[in-house]
Amino acid sequence: MAADWLGSLVSINCGPTLGVYQGEVSSVDQSCQTISLRQPFHNGVKCPVPEVTFSAIDIKELKILDIRNGSTQNSFLVSTNASSTPVAVPKGDQRTVDAVNSLQYFSKSYGERHLDVPKGFRRRHNSWSSSSRAANQVTPKKNGVKNSTQMKQRDDECFGDGMDDGLDTDFDFEGNLALFDKAAVFSEIDTSERRNGARSRGTPQEQTPSRYRHDENILEGKPVVYRQITVPQAGFREYCTDSGLVVPCISYDLHKRLLLAAERHGLTLERRLEMTGVCASQMALTLLGGPNRFTPKNLHQRPTVALLCGPHVQGAQGISCGRHLANHEVEVILFLPNFVKMVDSVTSELTLFNKTGGKQVSNIKDLPDTPVDLIINCLDCHENTFLMDQPWYRAAADWANQNRAPVLSIDPPVSGRGPAVEAKWSLSLCLPLPLAEGAGRVYLCDIGIPRQVFQEVGIKYHSPFGCKFVIPLHSA
């Protein structure tokens, strides 16, 4: 009876572990309780083996999808439940009834679990066995013609059996490219652009491609004027910014006239001190590590800054910077001699600094013996150059040079003798002064002087700062 439905299409449900198989029935062995499917599909995917054999104990549910005589029966169902075996069969088809009865008998019988698969098939469950193999199944070799045949079978499984063999022909790139007349196409483009008044792009051989940075605008606009700042006294050293803008140096006399004009317009010394302190502290925080150093998880490693100040305006600028650093959890040690006369700005800034909890010393011996993270030098004065000969000044300069910590000088003066403390960075205000070589790398600080104030002292000025308040300067 089982031979009557050989070639029929069936669906076998083997439970959640083995899954569902569909295929054409190739053989049924009632004595061994096995059934074999030809060209099987596993969970909707074609199996890599041509035939699969199941044991009756593995089958949970069996559906007949198509009988060999051509009649489609999508509703045939044989259940392996012991309680009931419902079967839906059309009337008048005795061959179909016999086939279903055979399947019903087969699915209720329980024998030894057995599935015949080739050696290369991956195991999915302990009931899978590779002890036997069908006679027409061989293990594919890794190389040779059989391997190529296996690869083609995999291609057919991925892209379908109905692939067009004509696609195997190689595409003739050279012949297709010869049909394209590049010279005629570019000539037509040039003629069209000249007629419309547009700029000619030229042929690939004549055109030199432009290179743009990731932050550069590729749209053409007005030509950039890089010399946007001109000073009445030429001949001093010139710098340039990262974007190429030229920043000339000015003399100290012109610098002093600029500050006096700003003060007349309301930019008082106190406002300039605050602006200088904020910008200098921002630069110092960046030099100390920036966001990588100042995090809530890193409070146990507070950086230490030694602040060397004199009793003058430059010293007041340094004290303002130290106040802002102390507010940002930096351990600041301020050196300021207490036996010399101080200007009023230093006294007021010192009062605010003492509110932050920073440490103040007046003796060089009270400064740290070990290297600190940063030294800020504000010992020098623009007006009084004789301070460099005083003992406290020389002692502070010697300590800074021997501490081996990097030095940041704020508003260093123009000195013919050269700086007493070798600086790695120098921060200039408004416009740079012609500093000596020992000043290190020069940075420029914006203290908020309006453009009309520059024009009042004869300086044609356009801000080179962009979106920043502190920018680096490079030798032009």
Strand partners of residue 23: 10
More confident residue, 392 or 77: 392
Name, of 57-71, 207-221, 241-255, 377-391, the range with top average pLDDT. Answer: 241-255
Name, of 146-150, 200-204, 294-298, the range with top average pLDDT. Answer: 294-298
Residue 309 sits in the same domain as residue 329: yes
Contact between residue 262 and residue 449 where contact means Cβ atoms under 8 Å apart? yes
pLDDT at site 198: 55
Domain final residue pick, 202, 221, 254: 202
pLDDT at site 54: 85
Mean of pLDDT values over 248-272: 95
Residue 325 sits in the same domain as residue 429: yes
In a domain, 192, yes or no: yes
pLDDT at site 222: 72
Report the candidate in 425, 370, 426, 415 with the shortest Cα–Cα distance to residue 393: 415
More confident residue, 195 or 284: 284
pLDDT at site 124: 43
If pLDDT is split at 50, 70 and 90, which confidence band does 165 have? Answer: low
Mean of pLDDT values over 348-363: 94
In 3-state terms, what secondary structure has residue 57? helix
Residue 8 sits in the same domain as residue 48: yes
**Range of 112's domain?**
1-162
Residue 134 sits in the same domain as residue 253: no
In a domain, 210, yes or no: no
Contact between residue 325 and residue 305 where contact means Cβ atoms under 8 Å apart? yes
With 50 as the cut, is the pLDDT of residue 88 above it?
A: no
More confident residue, 94 or 326: 326
Structure tokens at 147: 């391997």
Cα separation, 170 vs 113, in Å, equals 50
Domain final residue pick, 114, 139, 162: 162
Residue 190 sits in the same domain as residue 145: no
What stretch of H or E contains 259?
A: helix 252-264
pLDDT at site 45: 86
With 80 as the cut, is the pLDDT of residue 269 above it?
A: yes
Report the candidate in 413, 454, 452, 412 with the shortest Cα–Cα distance to residue 430: 454
In a domain, 222, yes or no: no
Domain final residue pick, 97, 131, 162: 162
- Please report, rounded to a whole number, the percentage of residues in the chain having pLDDT higher than 70: 73
Q: Report angle CA 162, 165, 169 to the nearest 5 degrees.
A: 150
- Please report, rounded to a whole number, the percentage of residues in the chain having pLDDT higher than 90: 41
With 60 as the cut, is the pLDDT of residue 190 above it?
A: yes
In a domain, 421, yes or no: yes
With 60 as the cut, is the pLDDT of residue 336 above it?
A: yes
Residue 360 sits in the same domain as residue 454: yes
Exposed/middle/buried for residue 445 (C-beta within 10 Å: 0-12, 13-18, 19+): buried
- Residue pLDDT, tens place only, 219-250: 766 777 889 999 998 778 899 999 999 999 99
In a domain, 67, yes or no: yes
Q: What's the total number of domains in the chain?
A: 3
Residue 60 sits in the same domain as residue 90: yes
CATH number of the domain encompassing residue 287: 3.40.50.10260
Cα separation, 416 vs 321, in Å, equals 27
More confident residue, 372 or 29: 372
In a domain, 218, yes or no: no
- Residue pLDDT, tens place only, 113-145: 333 334 444 444 444 433 344 444 444 444 545
Residue 187 sits in the same domain as residue 154: no
In a domain, 225, yes or no: no
- Residue pLDDT, tens place only, 7-27: 888 889 988 888 899 988 888
Residue 190 sits in the same domain as residue 128: no
CATH number of the domain encompassing residue 45: 2.30.30.100
Mean of pLDDT values over 403-429: 89
pLDDT at site 5: 67
Residue 287 sits in the same domain as residue 257: yes
With 80 as the cut, is the pLDDT of residue 305 above it?
A: yes
Residue 130 sits in the same domain as residue 158: yes
Residue 134 sits in the same domain as residue 186: no
pLDDT at site 172: 82
Contact between residue 34 and residue 55 where contact means Cβ atoms under 8 Å apart? yes
What stretch of H or E contains 12?
A: strand 9-13
